[in-house]
Chains A and B, each alone.
Chain A
Amino acid sequence: MTAERAVSGAIALTRMWANIYTLAMARTRRAERLAELESDLHEQRTAAGRDSYVLAWSILFRALRGAPADALNVAEMWLPDRVLRRLQEPLAAAGVAAIVATGILLAGLPTVDFATHVYQRAIFLQHGFALWNNFWYAGRYSFVTYSLLFYPLAGVVGVEVVAVVAVALAALMFSVVVLRQWGRDAIWSSRTFAVVWGGIVLSAAFPFALGTAMALLAIWALQRRRLWRFYLLASLTVLASPLAFLVLTATLAGIAIGRHLSSGSSESRRIATS
């Protein structure tokens, strides 16, 4: 890739992100924000004198670092102050995960299993929930082992959109769950998860990403002692990805064992001190 292409790519990604986060803005405000960004990008490119990889990285880095502030701009339009303050970190995590995932998809990096989802989506649109597909290897179940939830959603809005939303939702919920459990100590876990989780797009394990988002929602429901909501979300986890459901089951089993052991040791302490 030449330096000129790298700079053009960075500008295109920045524009793309701006077009996404300004969607919810009023028309005039959106036009002004986009025009101001356009001016900034032009000035930076002109001031640099010539295109270079450093310039491309600088433009992209400015967009990436500003993503949480952009996400907050959007959130401020809808959410009351009290909720917004509590959701500030999770929203920032979701914004970062979304921009990493979108960047990977737009950059056209090789995503291992992407073709599978495009094919599966086409099968779903043409044949609905076909149980068996004879045209894949020596025949296999179409959706049951992959996802019953992902392809209908992808059929409506597209594979990429569902993937990015699932990744962002999982980052948001991971942040909500760990901050609720461990408070401010978990901030860096939340942030690192957001960056790394965006990279799951490289494996194109999109149904798993959606399933993980549902599983984290289920854990959140459990934290809040909303059992019916938990059952519903656990069911959606199975529908989104059997593998994610397995992870959810293992996580819950781990929590249950941990609680059992800690209650056992506190019981021992109680007996020893009595």
Chain B
Amino acid sequence: MKPGSLRNATICAILPDVARRKVGAVLPIEVAILETALALRRSGIDAFHGFLLAKTMRDREGARVLIAHGTLYRALRRMEAAGWLESEWEEPAAAQHEGRPRRRLYRVTTSGRLALAAGAAPAPIRSPRVIEGLT
């Protein structure tokens, strides 16, 4: 199968965890997560943890509050089950060295990039910058 032919409908059909959603749909929060993750990658951060993602999403969207814990981690789990993200726990030594809890680091997979390209509408931008640009 050519990479371009892997559409979200196909992904939904082969992955039971997302089978019940409307075919072809990538939820807005998933689009926002994938776009943010790819933006992080472009800035040199290949793997990201939950809070970094939440903070970057807030900054990109110009929102005043961070995404809720439950919403964020539920979406990350769902996207990992769909094969759009992969994750691994960092080495304990690295966390110990910096005196903090271990981070779970996520990466966008090829399927994730394809899902974004195939099924994503542009994420709603609430940035004041955009509003300023219109006026």
Binding site for B on A (CB under 8 A): 14, 18, 32-33, 35-40, 42-44, 46-47, 58, 61-70, 72-73, 81
Q: Which residues of the other chain, B, contact A81 by a CB distance below 8 angstroms?
A: 20
**A65 vs B67: C-alpha distance when bound (angstroms):** 8
Task: Give the distance in Å from the alpha carbon of A46 to the alpha carbon of B102 in the complex.
Answer: 14
Q: Are A39 and B100 in contact (CB under 8 A)?
A: yes
23 A-B pairs within 8 Å (CB atoms) are namely: A32-B104, A35-B101, A36-B50, A39-B49, A39-B102, A39-B103, A40-B49, A40-B50, A40-B51, A42-B101, A43-B103, A46-B100, A47-B51, A58-B65, A61-B65, A62-B67, A62-B69, A63-B68, A63-B70, A65-B68, A65-B71, A66-B69, A69-B68
Q: When each residue 51-74 of chain B gets 1 if its CB lies under 8 Å from chain A and 0 otherwise, what string results?
A: 110110000000001111111111
The answer to whether A63 and B55 have CB atoms under 8 Å apart is no
Please name the 7 residue pairs, one residue from A and one from B, whose CB atoms are nearest each other, closest first.
A66-B70, A66-B68, A69-B70, A65-B68, A43-B51, A70-B70, A39-B101
Interface size class of B (residues with CB under 8 A): 20 to 34
Chain B 29-46 per-residue mask, 1 if CB under 8 angstroms from chain A, else 0: 000000000000000000
Question: Contacts A62-B67, A62-B69; is A47 near B102 (CB within 8 Å)?
Answer: no
Nearest A residue (CB) for B69: A66
Q: Which B residues are in CB contact (< 8 Å) with A62?
A: 65-69
Would you call the interface of chain A mostly helix, strand, loop, or mixed? helix
Instruction: Give Cα A68 to B67, complex, Å.
Output: 13
Residues of A within 8 A of B103 (CB): 39, 43
* Contact in complex: A69, B49 (CB < 8 Å): no
By the criterion CB–CB under 8 Å, are A63 and B101 in contact? no
Q: Which residues of B contact A43 (CB under 8 A)?
A: 49-52, 100, 103
Q: Please measure, in the bound complex, the distance between the C-alpha atom of A73 and the C-alpha atom of B101, giving whole angstroms.
A: 24
Contacts of A72 in B (CB 8 A): 74
> In the complex, what's the smallest C-beta–C-beta distance from A26 to chain B, in angstroms?
13
* From B55, B70, B73, B101, contact of A47 by CB (8 A): B55
Q: Which of B59-115 contact A (CB under 8 A)?
A: 65-74, 89, 100-104
B55 touching A36, Cβ below 8 Å: no
A35 to B52, CA, bound (A): 16
- Taking the closest CB of chain B, its distance from the CB of A32, in whole angstroms, is 7
In Å, the complex CA distance between A70 and B71 comes to 8
